[in-house]
């Protein structure tokens, strides 16, 4: 809203088109369909928390497409909603694509009316038409178009239906600058709006790049950001707005803060009743029965445990099989060159190269592929909000917010999006606590270490034990943090979307894009670090590093001192600790050098200590340097404590 909030780096060819919609309306799916699947999609609120940009060509015409975080209204309640609103009102947007979930049309229309009030050119993508049909809702599209004065395109984004038409209409709207028909409210409201509009200097509308009527409406809703922007130069307008709002509240016997929004709700309901018919509302058979089990107070909890346990067990068994098949040729290759490795620098580095390649293809990928595929399925099918629903009560007991469970579960995939996911939390306190807990969750990179070392050498049950321990430690640290950080967690309020069976293609593509991230970003780092490691070993520099870390590795943790260098490189990527372990020990059979207790200690330390550089960078951006340092200290402290204690016991 403020004049300073204009985002940079958006230069480019063609109009800037922003996709806006309520969480879980299929906005990101539509964006992906247009952009060629670059962003993540997920069937739960709050997937896209930072905005994603894609430059696309539609019928040969360029367009800058922006996917904004989902928002329920233009009144921001959390950081993600704030991003959307600031961007929308920054004066950069040439056209809006309002993505509307047709199966909950009446609710979505409230946001649509708010968007029309901004005066920006607008196109409606009436998405999830299949869901609406299933619920027995038929929508008179021409009537909706006529009432709102903007193009309405029915879409099923998951199948790509209507997607191109939406883009074409948006291009057209950006050229004609045609905005929609403003909603008219009750006479009282309109009179108050009129009074305010007359009192407002034209300068305001020019400076803030929105119609005066929009500003007047926001003032009647006690919009803090607009109040500040207007109040600086024109305090008398605020006084008038407050008087009018109080007047309306008295006339309608309605709380002041919601008198305006309740009228907009009424306008949306009127519109809904005029354009939609609900012919039948039968209970949705299998979905309802599934929830009877999966949201059951007892069986639901059993389900959460089974789902998470099943995720890791299945990943282990599939991964173990794959690792055996894919890893074999690499092992043969490593054996072949192993004997000659120490004779020259070139050979030492070649061995590093082969080990880096083998580590990525033969150890990391086999476990990563099934894990990511299963996690994508759990996200897209809509299970996560249900898990949050079941666990909220427990989380509140330890002082956390139920919604924290979504970033925390995402953390088991990758900490980076999980940290960005903390923006769905309403209070700074909950955001900070959750952002300190996320780096403790065993992300897929650490899962690979756990599966390859603990499951591989000690057995899958031990690996599951490490997981349970990871969850318990995270919960315990959460309990302590929530006692230390002042404030209380507000109540949970969260959409529970219907189950949606993600099309196999969508699932495959989503998994592929996450794997590609490993292939192009992480694997090269693994290979380069592995080569550097080869050179270090040749020069004897690894001994120096190991000696430096020896008080920790062999002193406190009771590990062979040679693992020091692997823990150091592990800060770059957690998989590195695993891949480099083989070359540090000089064998692919870890059990021949380390005792089971040492393997367990090593894995526990890798699981809990300082997160990778990507996580640290994200943390700095999300919660600042100070908390990031606290987080690093916390991670290291917990890692030493857990690994040293349990290593002794085992």
Partner 1 sequence: MTLAQAVPGTRVRVVGRNRGRRHEANLAGLGIHVGDEVIVVRSAPFDGPLLVEVPASGVRIAVGRGMANGLFVEPADE
In the complex, the residues that contact partner 1 under the rule CB under 8 A are: 72-73, 75, 77, 103-107, 110-111, 135, 137, 255, 257-258, 261-262, 265, 269, 281, 291, 295-298, 300-301, 385, 388-394, 396-397, 402, 426, 490-498
Query: How far apart, in whole angstroms, are the C-alpha atoms of residue 576 and residue 233?
Result: 57
- The smaller minimum CB distance to partner 1, of residues 141 and 278, is found at 278
In the complex, the smallest distance separating the C-beta of residue 257 from partner 1, rounded to whole angstroms, is 6
CB of 278 or CB of 545, closer to partner 1: 278
Look at residues 46, 40, 52, 50 and name the one whose alpha carbon lies nearest to residue 24.
46
Q: What is the Cα–Cα distance from 602 to 141, expressed in whole angstroms?
A: 61
Nearer to partner 1, 302 or 461 (CB): 302
Show the tokens assigned to 225: 């950001």
Between the alpha carbon of residue 11 and those of residues 94, 165, 510, the distances in Å are 13, 25, 28
Residues in the chain: 650
Provide the minimum distance between the beta carbon of 302 and partner 1 in the complex, in angstroms, as a whole number.
11
Report the distance separating Cα 87 and Cα 80, nearest Å.
11
CB of 510 to partner 1, least distance (A): 25
| 559-581 CB burial, b ≥16 within 10 A, e <16 | bbbbbbbbbbbbbbbbbbbbbbb
User: In whole angstroms, how close is the CB of 74 to partner 1 at the nearest point?
Assistant: 9
Minimum CB separation of residue 213 from partner 1 in Å reads: 21
**Nearest residue to 15 (alpha-carbon basis) of 177, 161, 149:** 177
Q: Give the residue with the Cβ less far from partner 1, 106 or 138.
A: 106
Instruction: State the minimum distance, in angstroms, from the CB of residue 117 to partner 1.
Output: 15
94 vs 495, beta carbon nearer partner 1:
495
Q: Least Å distance between CB 496 and partner 1?
A: 4
Say whether 221 sits in a helix, a strand or coil.
coil
* Pairing mode, strands 276-278 and 137-139: antiparallel
**Strand, coil or helix: 97:** strand
Alpha-carbon distance of 253 to 217, in angstroms, equals 19
Residues whose CB falls within 8 Å of the CB of residue 524, separated by 6 or more in sequence, listed in order = none
The answer to whether 24 touches 495, Cβ cutoff 8 Å, is: yes
Minimum distance, C-beta of residue 438 to partner 1, in the bound complex (Å): 21
CB of 331: closest distance to partner 1 in angstroms?
Answer: 48
Nearer to partner 1, 53 or 75 (CB): 75
Q: Which residue lies nearer to partner 1 by CB, 160 or 490?
A: 490
124 with 100: CB under 8 angstroms? yes
What distances in angstroms separate CA 389 from CA 65, 383, 395, 403, 419, one per listed residue? 34, 10, 10, 8, 20
- Phi/psi at 558 (5° precision): 70, 35
- In DSSP terms, 125 is beta-bridged to 99, 153
Q: Output the smallest distance, CB 39 to partner 1, in A.
A: 23
What is the separation of C-alpha 376 from the centre of its chain, rounded to a whole number of angstroms? 12
Please tell me the distance from the alpha carbon of residue 28 to that of residue 499, in angstroms, as a whole number. Answer: 17
Q: 76 vs 352, which CB is nearer to partner 1?
A: 76
Of 383, 370, 363, 443, whose CA–CA distance to 609 is shortest?
A: 443
- Asked if 577 and 569 count as a contact pair (C-beta separation under 8 A), the reply is yes
8 A C-beta contact, residue 494 and residue 385: yes
- Least separation in angstroms between CB 218 and partner 1: 15
Q: How far is the CB of 390 from partner 1 (least distance, A)?
A: 6
Parallel, antiparallel or unpaired: strands 52-58 and 61-67: antiparallel
* CB proximity list for 8: less than 8 A, separation 6 or greater: none
Q: Which is closer to partner 1, CB of 13 or CB of 257? A: 257
How large is the angle between the packed helices 383-397 and 365-381, nearest 10 degrees?
90
Measured from the CB atom, the residue of 117 and 495 that comes closer to partner 1 is 495
Contact 643, 604 (CB under 8 A): yes
Least distance CB 252 / partner 1 (angstroms): 12
**Nearer CB in complex with partner 1: 278/641:** 278
CA separation for the pair 631, 610 (Å, rounded): 8
With respect to partner 1, which residue has the nearer C-beta, 12 or 491? 491
Q: What angle, rounded to 10 degrees, do the helices at 235-252 and 259-275 form? A: 60
- Compute the radius of gyration of the chain from its Cα atoms: 28
Minimum gap (Å) between residue 318 Cβ and partner 1: 32
Query: Looking only at Cα atoms, what is the longest distance across the chain?
Result: 91
For partner 1, the closer of residues 291 and 517 by Cβ is: 291
> Which residues, including other chains, have CB under 8 Å from residue 277's CB and lie 6 or more apart?
137, 138, 140
Q: Which is nearer to partner 1, 110 or 542 (CB)?
A: 110
- Least separation in angstroms between residue 464's CB and partner 1 is 23
Q: Which is nearer to partner 1, 247 or 492 (CB)?
A: 492
Q: Which is nearer to partner 1, 296 or 621 (CB)?
A: 296
Phi then psi for residue 260, to 5 deg, are: -75, -45
In the complex, minimum distance from the CB of residue 389 to partner 1, in angstroms, rounded to a whole number: 5
């Amino acid at each position: 809203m403020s004049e300073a909030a204009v985002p940079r780096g958006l230069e480019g060819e063609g109009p800037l088109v922003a996709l806006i919609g309520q969480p879980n309306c299929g906005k990101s799916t539509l964006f992906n369909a247009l952009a060629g699947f670059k962003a993540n999609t997920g069937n739960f609120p709050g997937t896209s928390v930072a905005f994603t940009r894609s430059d696309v060509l539609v019928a040969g015409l360029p367009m800058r497409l922006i996917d904004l975080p989902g928002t329920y209204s233009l009144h921001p309640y959390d950081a993600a909603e704030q991003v959307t609103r600031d961007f929308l009102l920054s004066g950069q947007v040439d056209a809006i694509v309002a993505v509307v979930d047709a199966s909950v049309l009446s609710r979505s229309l409230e946001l649509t009316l708010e968007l029309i009030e901004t005066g920006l050119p607008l196109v409606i993508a009436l998405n999830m038409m299949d869901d609406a049909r299933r619920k027995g809702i038929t929508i008179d599209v021409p009537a909706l178009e006529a009432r709102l004065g903007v193009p309405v395109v029915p879409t099923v984004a998951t199948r790509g239906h209507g997607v191109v038409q939406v883009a074409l209409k948006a291009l057209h709207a950006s050229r004609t600058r045609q905005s929609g028909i403003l909603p008219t409210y009750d006479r009282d409201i309109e009179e108050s709006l009129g009074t305010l509009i007359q009192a407002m200097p034209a300068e305001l509308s020019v400076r803030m790049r929105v119609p005066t009527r929009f500003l007047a409406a926001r003032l009647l809703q006690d919009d803090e950001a607009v109040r500040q922007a207007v109040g600086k130069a024109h305090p008398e307008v605020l006084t008038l707005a407050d008087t009018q709002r109080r007047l309306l509240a008295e006339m309608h016997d309605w709380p002041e803060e919601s008198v305006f929004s309740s009228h907009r709700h009424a306008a949306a309901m009127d519109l809904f009743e005029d354009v939609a018919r609900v012919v039948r509302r039968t209970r949705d058979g299998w979905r309802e029965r599934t929830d009877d089990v999966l949201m059951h107070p007892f069986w639901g909890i059993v389900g959460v445990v089974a789902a998470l346990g099943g995720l890791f067990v299945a990943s282990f068994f599939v991964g173990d099989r794959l690792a055996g098949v894919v890893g074999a040729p690499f092992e043969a290759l490593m054996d072949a060159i192993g004997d000659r490795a120490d004779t020259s620098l070139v050979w030492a580095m070649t061995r590093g190269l082969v080990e880096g390649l083998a580590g990525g293809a033969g150890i990391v990928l086999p476990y990563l592929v099934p894990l990511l595929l299963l996690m994508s399925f759990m996200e897209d099918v809509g299970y996560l909000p249900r898990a949050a629903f079941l666990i909220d009560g427990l989380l509140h007991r330890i002082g956390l917010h139920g919604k924290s469970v979504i970033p925390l579960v995402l953390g088991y995939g990758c900490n980076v999006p999980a940290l960005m996911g903390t923006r769905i939390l309403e209070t700074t306190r909950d955001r900070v606590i959750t952002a300190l807990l996320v780096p403790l969750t065993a992300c897929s990179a650490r899962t690979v270490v756990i599966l390859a070392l603990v499951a591989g050498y000690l057995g899958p049950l031990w690996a599951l034990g490490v997981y349970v321990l990871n969850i318990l430690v995270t919960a315990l640290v959460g309990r302590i943090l929530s006692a230390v950080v002042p404030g209380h967690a507000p109540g949970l309020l969260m959409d529970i979307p219907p189950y949606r069976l993600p099309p196999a293609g969508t699932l495959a593509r989503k998994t592929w894009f996450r794997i590609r991230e490993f292939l192009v970003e992480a694997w090269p780092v693994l290979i380069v670090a592995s080569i550097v490691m080869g050179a270090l070993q040749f020069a004897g520099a690894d001994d120096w590093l190991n000696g430096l870390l020896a008080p920790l590795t062999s002193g406190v943790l009771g590990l062979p001192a040679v693992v020091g260098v692997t823990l150091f490189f592990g800060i770059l990527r957690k998989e590195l600790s695993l891949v480099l372990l083989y070359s540090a020990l000089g064998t692919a059979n870890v059990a021949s050098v380390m005792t089971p207790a040492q393997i367990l200690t090593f894995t526990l330390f890798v699981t809990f200590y300082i997160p990778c550089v990507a996580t640290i960078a994200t943390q700095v951006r999300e919660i600042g340097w100070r908390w990031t340092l606290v987080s690093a200290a916390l991670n290291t402290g917990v890692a030493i404590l857990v690994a040293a204690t349990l290593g002794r016991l085992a």
